[in-house]
């Protein structure tokens, strides 16, 4: 037993149980009893409510004592001290009730603080997780951009090298053809005649060479267009190659890269930063169309 607990007085406060003062008449006692008995009688409980007859027994015990003159007189002789006991006990009960309420309030506040702290830590953890995800996504994006730029740089270097080699080869072939033509013409004519004829023949040779090159390029273009059309029929969603004039062969190599915003003459898409320019006719093309549509 808790040493701070105060036991309930052994004799009930009958007047308080009936809600009366000590000066109440027998009629008041009777009326109070009937009123409370009707309220607390087990038979008057609503269906489903727990039945506890303690309140009814307390009311009936108080009525049996106070309705009997002898018992009431004996009880009244003790009531002064008994009332003090009950007053002190009720005060102690009130203190206990307030103390319990304070403890409950403290416990609720502690639980609320703990809940707030948990929520704060969870929010901080979530914020840290989001920040880490954003950093990781930024790193991955930067790496993808670096790799894309590196691939573009390597592709451009390969294109330039291939163009340089092709240009050197074409120049060498042209020089060799001109040399052979000059040698054949020099053997047939005299010095003066050879000189005049050589000039004309060199000019004609150059024109023939140009025509041959154009014809070869046009033949290659036609073959490539045929292959591209056949391949395009099997590729779903890829646009058909644009029609163009054969006035310019659009050689595959030797296209310089130019900065500035232009529209591709093949796919009509806008090149925001740079494009390739045909070395023959100076038209602009994006990197994709340059590799697709040029010999």
Euclidean distance between CA atoms 285 and 268, whole angstroms:
9
Euclidean distance between CA atoms 245 and 243, whole angstroms:
7
pLDDT of 133: 93
- Whether the CB-CB separation of 284 and 262 falls below 8 Å is answered with yes
pLDDT of 47: 53
pLDDT at 51 over 50: no
pLDDT in tens, 245-277: 446 777 777 788 888 888 898 888 888 888 888
Distance of CA 106 to the CA centre of its chain: 41
- Could you tell me the domains of the chain? 14-116 (1.10.287.110), 258-295 (no CATH)
Confidence of residue 1 (pLDDT cuts 50, 70, 90): very low
- Whether the CB-CB separation of 6 and 94 falls below 8 Å is answered with no
Euclidean distance between CA atoms 169 and 210, whole angstroms:
15
Strand partners, 20: none
Euclidean distance between CA atoms 147 and 156, whole angstroms:
14
For strand 270-271 and strand 262-263, is the pairing parallel, antiparallel, or unpaired?
A: antiparallel
Euclidean distance between CA atoms 30 and 63, whole angstroms:
7
**Distances, alpha carbon 146 to alpha carbons 4, 12, 135, 152, 272, in Å:** 79, 92, 16, 10, 19
pLDDT of 125: 95
> What DSSP assignment string belongs to 44-57?
GSPTTSPP--HHHH
- Once rounded to an integer, what is the mean pLDDT over residues 219-240? 62
Euclidean distance between CA atoms 62 and 128, whole angstroms:
69
pLDDT at 118 over 90: yes
Give percent of the chain above pLDDT 70: 83
- Whether the CB-CB separation of 208 and 180 falls below 8 Å is answered with no
Euclidean distance between CA atoms 162 and 157, whole angstroms:
9
pLDDT in tens, 89-112: 889 989 999 999 999 999 999 999
Contacts of 62 (CB under 8 A, 6+ apart): 12, 14, 15, 17, 18, 33
Give the neighbor-by-neighbor strand order of the sheet with 284-285. Answer: 257-259, 274-277, 284-285
Which parts of the chain are beta strand (E)? 257-259, 262-263, 270-271, 274-277, 284-285
109 membership: H or E segment, kind and range: helix 69-188
How much is the pTM? 0.34
């Amino acid at each position: 037993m808790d040493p701070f607990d105060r036991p309930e007085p052994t004799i009930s406060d009958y007047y308080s149980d009936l809600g009366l003062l000590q000066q109440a008449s027998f009629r008041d006692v009777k009326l109070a009893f009937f009123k409370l008995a009707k309220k607390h009688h087990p038979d008057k409980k609503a269906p489903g409510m727990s039945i506890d007859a303690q309140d009814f027994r307390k009311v009936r015990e108080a009525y049996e004592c106070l309705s009997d003159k002898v018992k009431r007189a004996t009880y009244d002789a003790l009531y002064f001290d008994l009332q003090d006991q009950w007053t002190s006990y009720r005060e102690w009960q009130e203190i206990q009730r307030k103390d319990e309420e304070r403890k409950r309030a403290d416990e609720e506040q502690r639980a609320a603080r703990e809940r707030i702290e948990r929520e704060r830590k969870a929010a901080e953890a979530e914020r840290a997780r989001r920040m880490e995800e954003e950093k990781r996504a930024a790193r991955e994006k930067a790496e993808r951009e670096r790799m894309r730029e590196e691939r573009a740089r390597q592709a451009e270097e390969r294109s330039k090298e291939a163009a340089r080699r092709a240009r050197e080869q074409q120049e060498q072939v042209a020089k060799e053809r001109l040399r052979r033509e000059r040698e054949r013409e020099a053997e047939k004519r005299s010095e003066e005649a050879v000189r005049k004829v050589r000039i004309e023949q060199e000019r004609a040779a150059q024109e023939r060479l140009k025509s041959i090159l154009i014809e070869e390029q046009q033949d290659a273009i036609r073959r490539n267009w045929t292959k591209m059309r056949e391949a395009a029929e099997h590729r779903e969603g890829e646009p058909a190659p644009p029609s163009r004039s054969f006035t310019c062969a659009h050689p595959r190599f030797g296209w310089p890269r130019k900065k500035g915003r232009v529209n591709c003459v093949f796919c009509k898409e806008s090149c925001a930063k740079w494009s390739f320019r045909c070395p023959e006719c100076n038209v602009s093309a994006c990197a994709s169309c340059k590799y697709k549509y040029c010999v």
